[in-house]
Structure 1
Amino acid sequence: MLLLGIDIGTSSVKVSIVDAVTQQSVASAQYPDEESPIIALKPGWAEQSPDMWWQQAQQALALCHATGTYNADDIAAIGIAYQMHGLVLVDKQQKVLRNSIIWCDSRAVEIGDKAFDVIGHDKCLSHLLNSPGNFTASKLAWVKENEPKIYAQIDKIMLPGDFITMKLTGDITTSVSALSEGIFFDFKTNQVSKDIVDYFGFDEGLFPVINPVFSPHGYLLASVAEKLKLKAGIPVSYKSGDQPNNALSLNVLNPGEVAATAGTSGVIYGVSDQLAYDKQSRVNTFAHVNYATDEKRLGVLLCINGTGSMYRWAKNSFGANPSYQQMNNEAAKAPVGSDGLRVLPFGNGAERMLNNKQVGAHLHGIDLNLHTQAHLFRAVQEGIACSFRYGLDIMRENGMNPTIIRAGKNNLFLSDLFAQTFVNVTGVPVELYKNDGSVGAALGAGIGAGIFASPEAAFEHMHPVQLIVPTNTESIQAVYQEWKTLLNKQLLNN
């Protein structure tokens, strides 16, 4: 029996076919090979076409089929993971009304800040566990205010994973986890937030049917199945935002367990059983994949927008078309601290952990007679690792004190230099696993379809491939203090 996982990322779509018995991938592919474009019509804006995601999902699945390593008729369930906080709008014919305003778009910051003030800080934090900030609800309010003709045509609002499920099944559903990441969910009343709906003037009919994360969200349409070379009627039995899904893929389900990822954005994600919140909303609390009213499981999420995106920028701007592996090899030639070159990697929109300020990316201390490509590549990795440390300290202020962090051996964690720097600057060991979001989505589908008896049963065969512990930390700690001083100066200027 096989499971299909589809991960709708910002840079690409990845698909994996997983054997439910061994829990291992038998085929995987991503499309496209190069990073997908982000449409920025104005500074701070970020959009993508939902139809592009759908086309990329089809291409990635076709690449998996082309491997010839499995029988597609054996696929029994489909799971979806997706980039969080994006806004997708469709009309009554399920036609997309505009590009998706995606997670790193900053246009709605002022709208969210005003809602925070008017609804009340205490009310928002105690009921929503977050400020409305720059999340999906505020983005929808921006459309209502600035594009009223489009707003008037909306039949349903969705997160990106809801959209892909609609394309597969024709059904539009959502979940408590998805609503919470959009800041639409009231954790005290366990329903769509009346405060948000009333303040912004939303019609509650815009919200889809709410299903559990692990449950059938629809069944593969015959017309779509034929096109995808799959069996009709396969359930889409799981869908989750990429960070809760990344945690699931690492078997991070219980209070105190912590996951990390360093893809386009960087995230530390810890599980709690408390309806807790950061008073400044610098880290955010959402319903985890296994959240239930009688057994609360919350994901406390630290997000850094500019991690992999910062490294990609360095690749495109300063490399002679190098591979990421070549960049990593070059970076290792420079000493710890990059001979004084410091990088603030905050050039991908408003940063929540910096109180929604748009600090921008900065290179400090460039010596034209000293610094080389190797210094730059190392300084970027060190700057990203320092931003993780800065955010982890905020999580520590809020009671999240990990003794070990789990991460997939992919993206920036493929770099031995980055992984060791991350561990040294945070002081927390990291377990690396051969796993990714599309595999996690496939295993989630198995849970939702009842193929696994419990979430824990889906990870019986998962073992770490590497343990990284802190070594020689003094040098990087000194680098971090210099980096933090530079960041604080920059924050004062914003």
Structure 2
Amino acid sequence: MLLLGIDLGTSSIKVSVVDAISRRRIASAQYPESEAEILSARPGWAEQRPETWWMHTKAAILKAHSTGLYNPEEIGAIGIAYQMHGLVIVDRSHRPLRDAIIWCDSRAVDIGNRAMSELSSGGFLNSHLNSPGNFTASKLAWVKENEPQVYEKTFKFMLPGDYLSLRLTGEVNSNVSSISEGILWNFSEGKLSDTLLKYYGIHTDLVPAILPVFSRYGRVLPEVARELGLSSDVFVTFKAGDQPNNALSLNVLEPGEVAATAGTSGVIYAVTDELVCDAASRVNTFAHVNHTEEATRLGVLLCINGTGIQNSWIKQMTASDLDYSALNNSSASIAVGSEGIRVLPFGNGAERMFNNRIVGGHLENLDFVRHGRAHLWRAAQEGIAFSFRYGLDILRENGLNPSVIKAGHANLFLSPVFQQSFAGVTNVPVELYDNDGSVGAALGAGLGAGVFANREEAFSGLERQLTVEPAQVALYDELYADWKNCLERKLSN
């Protein structure tokens, strides 16, 4: 039996086909080859077209099939990982009523802040573990306030992965992990949040059916199965946001285990069995994929919007003639500290760890005589690593002190400069694994379909490729202090 994993990212769709017996990846494909467009009609807005996601998903699946390395009809289950916190709304014919408002869109910040101010006296933070912030529920409230003609036609709202599942199966559903990332789950009561729905005036009829994370979400529609060369008896059996799915892909499921990603955005994701909430809502707590009423498993998530997108932007501006490997090699030729250049990588919308402030990206201490473009490249990666340290210190304030951090050997973690900067400035060893979100989604599908008896069986093929030990810790502490001073000057303005 084969398992298909789909990873709906901001920049592309990636799919992987995994053999259920060996747990090995047989084939992978990505579409499009260049980064997908983010639509931004106004400053702070970020949208993508759900129909484009679907077209790209089909193209990626057919591209994987074209390798000829497997028989598509042997695919027995499908798992979906997706960019978190987005909003898709559809009418009764399941057609999107507008473009999706995605995770890095900042338009609903004021709505969420107002809600928190008015709900805080009722213990909202302790029961929901988050402020409404700029998350899915607040985005829907923005549509209700600003596009009433669209809201009135809404049949259901959903997360991006729920939309892909809908296109595959024709079924509208979600799960506790996904609903919690929209700040629509009351952890104290273990149920959908009446409080926030009532506050925003959102009827419960608009909420998709809520299933367990590992479930049969629906059988793939016959016409879709024919178009994609799949069996007529294949089900979607797993859905999760990209960060809980990344943690799953790294076998990070139990209290004390910590995962990280450094793709378009950067995340540290720590698993706990306690109802952790940060008083300032700088970090967020969501239901992990294995959370149940009997066994609390929550993911405390520290998000930095401007990580890989910072690296991508500076490459586009200064190194369009190079691939990332060449850029990384050139960066490594510059001494630690980038000869004084400091980069604040916060140019991708409101940052939660700054209480949803839009700080912007900044370049400090540039010297036209001494500095070349390789200095900029290294400084960008160091600045991203320093932003992870800033966030990790917030997690430490909340009692989460990782002894090791696991990450996929992908994206920024392919860069030796970033690897060393991250480990050095956080003073935590980093274990890098040959895995990614699409493989994690495929293995999640296997768990949801009952192919694997338990997680130990599912992840028996997980291989650690590299461990990066902290080095030059004192030097990185000194550089971080200088970087933090630059940041605090911006925050004080």
Letter of the 2:194 partner, please give it: K
Structure 1 partner of 2:256 = 256
Write out aligned runs for 1:183-332 (5 A): 183-332=183-332
In 2, distance between residues paired with 1:182 and 1:104?
14
Letter of the 1:474 partner, please give it: A
Structure 1 partner of 2:449 = 449
In 1, distance between residues paired with 2:184 and 2:320?
45
Encode CA deviations 1:49-99: one digit per residue, 9 max, x unaligned.
Answer: 011111111111111001000011111100000000000000000001000
Structure 2 partner of 1:352 = 352
Deviation at 1:456, TM superposition (A): 2.7
In 1, distance between residues paired with 2:474 and 2:394?
21
Matched, 1:6 2:6: yes
Structure 2 partner of 1:417 = 417
Deviation at 1:123, TM superposition (A): 1.6
Deviation at 1:191, TM superposition (A): 1.5
Structure 1 partner of 2:100 = 100
Q: Secondary structure at the match of 2:56?
A: helix
In 1, distance between residues paired with 2:314 and 2:275?
39
In 2, distance between residues paired with 1:285 and 1:417?
30
In 2, distance between residues paired with 1:471 and 1:396?
20
In 2, distance between residues paired with 1:492 and 1:428?
30
* Runs of 4+ more than 3 Å apart: none
Encode CA deviations 1:319-340: one digit per residue, 9 max, x unaligned.
Answer: 1421111110111111111010
Tell whether the 8 Å contact from 2:76 to 2:233 is kept in structure 1 after alignment: no
Structure 2 partner of 1:114 = 114
Encode CA deviations 1:16-61: one digit per residue, 9 max, x unaligned.
Answer: 0001111110000101111111101100000000111111111111
TM (norm. structure 1) is 0.99
Structure 2 partner of 1:490 = 490
In 2, distance between residues paired with 1:374 and 1:121?
51
Structure 1 partner of 2:368 = 368
Tell whether the 8 Å contact from 1:406 to 1:431 is kept in structure 2 after alignment: yes
Gaps of 5+ in 2: none
Letter of the 1:396 partner, please give it: R
Tell whether the 8 Å contact from 1:219 to 1:233 is kept in structure 2 after alignment: yes
Tell whether the 8 Å contact from 1:121 to 1:131 is kept in structure 2 after alignment: no
Q: Secondary structure at the match of 2:219?
A: coil
In 2, distance between residues paired with 1:3 and 1:467?
29
Deviation at 1:233, TM superposition (A): 2.6
Deviation at 1:190, TM superposition (A): 1.5
Structure 2 partner of 1:394 = 394
Q: Secondary structure at the match of 2:152?
A: helix
In 1, distance between residues paired with 2:17 and 2:320?
35
Tell whether the 8 Å contact from 1:330 to 1:373 is kept in structure 2 after alignment: no
Structure 1 partner of 2:28 = 28
Write out aligned runs for 1:141-160 (5 A): 141-160=141-160
TM (norm. structure 2) is 0.99
Tell whether the 8 Å contact from 2:83 to 2:160 is kept in structure 1 after alignment: yes
Identity %: 57
Deviation at 1:289, TM superposition (A): 0.2
Q: Secondary structure at the match of 1:10?
A: coil
Gaps of 5+ in 1: none
Number of aligned residues? 493
Structure 2 partner of 1:136 = 136
Encode CA deviations 1:153-198: one digit per residue, 9 max, x unaligned.
Answer: 0000000000000000000101010110000111112221111011
Q: Secondary structure at the match of 2:167?
A: helix
Letter of the 2:408 partner, please give it: G
In 2, distance between residues paired with 1:286 and 1:445?
21
Letter of the 1:483 partner, please give it: W
Letter of the 2:168 partner, please give it: L
Letter of the 1:382 partner, please give it: E
Letter of the 1:440 partner, please give it: G
Tell whether the 8 Å contact from 1:82 to 1:241 is kept in structure 2 after alignment: yes
Tell whether the 8 Å contact from 1:87 to 1:102 is kept in structure 2 after alignment: yes
Structure 1 partner of 2:164 = 164
Q: Secondary structure at the match of 2:464?
A: coil
Letter of the 1:430 partner, please give it: V
Bigger drift between 458-467 and 443-452 goes to 458-467
